[in-house]
Amino acid sequence: MLTLEDLFVVVLVWGIVIICAWFLSKYLFFVFMGARNRLDRLFLPIENLIYWLGGVDSSRKMGWKEYFKALFYLNAAQAIIAFFILMFQQSLPLNPMHYPGMSWSLALNTVLSFSSNTNLQHYNGETTLSYLSQMSAIQFLQFTSAATGLAAGVAVIRGFAGKAKTIGNFYYDYVRSLTRVLLPLAFIAAIVLIALGVPQSIGGYSSVPTLQRGAYEILYNGPIASLVSIMQLGTNGGGYFGANSAYPLQNPTQLSNLFEIGLMMFIPTAILFLFGRTVGDNREGRTLFLSAYAIYGIDLVIAFLSTTNIAQGIEVRFGGVTSAFWTVTTTAFTTGSLNASLGAFNPIVILTAFFGMLIQGAPGGIGIGAMYLIMYVIVTIFLVGLMAGRTPEYLGIKIEGRDVKLAIAAFLTHPIIILIPTVLAFAIGAEKAVGVTSNSTGFTTIFYEFTSAAANNGSDFLGAAGNTVFFNVATGIVMWLGRYLPILFLLAIADSVAVRKRSPSQGLKTGNISFVVILVVSIFILTVLTFFPFLVLGPVLQFLQGFNTSVGGVIFGF
């Protein structure tokens, strides 16, 4: 049951995050838009050394094709290095537990997952990975994938602003994302997490005696705080433990729980404000912010109203409302971390989680969320233009047919790579290998698996049970397609509009509340019309069946 205390906590977290994000957006503007600041004395020598070692020219303007190639090739190279670390960790140092290497399909799935900012885990980290693998493969890819998303988002924003007549240079954006944003913020967050009780060690696991005579319990330890900081801050989501942030060592207290929620909201919210600063009109940033948070808020309300009772097996330290707050937030920001078992939630809560992942712009992941919101704006303006019988415009730019086609291609990527493998999994009986039945609950499980993979979210029902060749390979392909195809399409749009002439007067005002309402309705209609049959077969049917078999709806909280 939602109480005033719960509501106050949500409002407090929102308030703190929004205020901090507003100030962070100002800092991001100086970082990425070429403005000089005092930190240059510290960071420029480091960054110039990185450029020199990499043999790249950070000052050269890139077109969208070159920008995307640089982005894609670098991520592929990093994934290959991580693949071999995971495959041969038994022969590498910092493995006091003597864990063997991963199988090829699991290693492939893991590197495709973490390099795409998805962090879907078909393994339990505490019983599978060495310290070296956790730090040099997992945490390394969490930093680089987050930096890639931030760089791509900044490039698209720079293109729509049009002031530099370019989308920029990938290496410039990528290196600054790491040196000036992610590394400093993650370091601060890790210190706070350590102070809140999250361990940070490479001393090996230890056994401690229990109350039962002669019995011992393994105390899993490791570089946990550093991983949690970037997993939340970079909207990654992959935890040190298989139970993720439901595990007490990764999320020990109510305060650490709220801090981790705030971390995943922080940078994506700041990027929405950065959009307004960059285009020179804070009202445009406000439009994206209000639209994203309106959808996020609606999802929260629905989840809270349906969370009056939850099944056994949930992490009870935080309560049903706080667990629902985390679940809706982690899917709205496409982070994917969890502080409770998804299987214990009301199907309506799962439905709200689906909406966050299917929309991907409510507010979405680091960098990518803002890109999706811009995509929705383009499609909405096109539809409004059709109804009004006038040429669609945005920020004084005429939206051409090519822009709309690319935006629709980015939108259609999502349903194609979700629905086809979901149907294929049931067609070949792959669900049986992971113990999933062919009823509404089983359909929800598999549909959620591929939705989470396509949205680069990473939360799932299967966990280590998904470690089969089919699900490892299929979700790996979906994760990379879901990551890089939309980036490709939206970079192409941004590069095109960057050099386009702009009118000082806008035909359609997009910086007011009226357009916010239109945009929110448009997003919901597009999402529901696309995925409605699959949602009905999954969580909606699951809820209705449970409602009909419950006494007064007690099981599902109604």
- Tell how strand 206-209 and strand 216-219 pair up: antiparallel
Q: Mean pLDDT, to the nearest integer, of 371-390? A: 91
Q: How confident is the model at residue 25 (pLDDT cuts 50, 70, 90)?
A: very high
Structure tokens at 541: 């049917």
Pick the range with the lowest mean pLDDT from 53-62, 113-122, 239-248, 277-286: 239-248
Say which residues have a Cβ less than 8 Å from residue 160's Cβ, sequence separation at least 6: 275, 279, 374, 394, 395, 397, 494, 497, 498
Q: Mean pLDDT, to the nearest integer, of 300-304? A: 92
Distance between CA 361 and CA 73 in Å, rounded?
Answer: 26
The answer to whether the CB of 341 falls within 8 A of the CB of 310 is: no
Position 552 scores a pLDDT of 38
pLDDT digits (tens, 9 = 90+) for 415-438: 999 999 999 999 999 999 999 988
pLDDT digits (tens, 9 = 90+) for 337-363: 999 888 888 899 999 999 999 999 999
The answer to whether the CB of 345 falls within 8 A of the CB of 324 is: yes
Position 558 scores a pLDDT of 29
- Report whether pLDDT(184) > 70: yes
Distance between CA 379 and CA 386 in Å, rounded?
Answer: 11
Phi, psi of 390 (to 5 degrees): -140, 160
Q: How confident is the model at residue 110 (pLDDT cuts 50, 70, 90)?
A: very high
Q: Mean pLDDT, to the nearest integer, of 80-106? A: 95
Structure tokens at 129: 């990975």
Q: Domain limits of the chain?
A: 4-549
Distance between CA 241 and CA 377 in Å, rounded?
Answer: 38
Q: What is the pTM of this model?
A: 0.94
Q: Mean pLDDT, to the nearest integer, of 103-107? A: 97
Q: How confident is the model at residue 107 (pLDDT cuts 50, 70, 90)?
A: very high
pLDDT digits (tens, 9 = 90+) for 431-470: 999 999 889 999 999 999 999 999 999 999 999 999 999 9
Q: How confident is the model at residue 314 (pLDDT cuts 50, 70, 90)?
A: low
Q: Which of 507, 283, 505 is nearest to 385 (CA)?
A: 507
Q: How confident is the model at residue 548 (pLDDT cuts 50, 70, 90)?
A: low
Position 554 scores a pLDDT of 36
Q: How confident is the model at residue 550 (pLDDT cuts 50, 70, 90)?
A: very low
Q: Which residue has the higher pLDDT, 544 or 494?
A: 494
- Residues comprising the chain, all counted: 558
The answer to whether the CB of 99 falls within 8 A of the CB of 89 is: yes
Q: Mean pLDDT, to the nearest integer, of 12-36? A: 94
Rg over CA atoms, the chain: 23
Where would I find the H helices in 338-393?
A: 347-359, 368-388
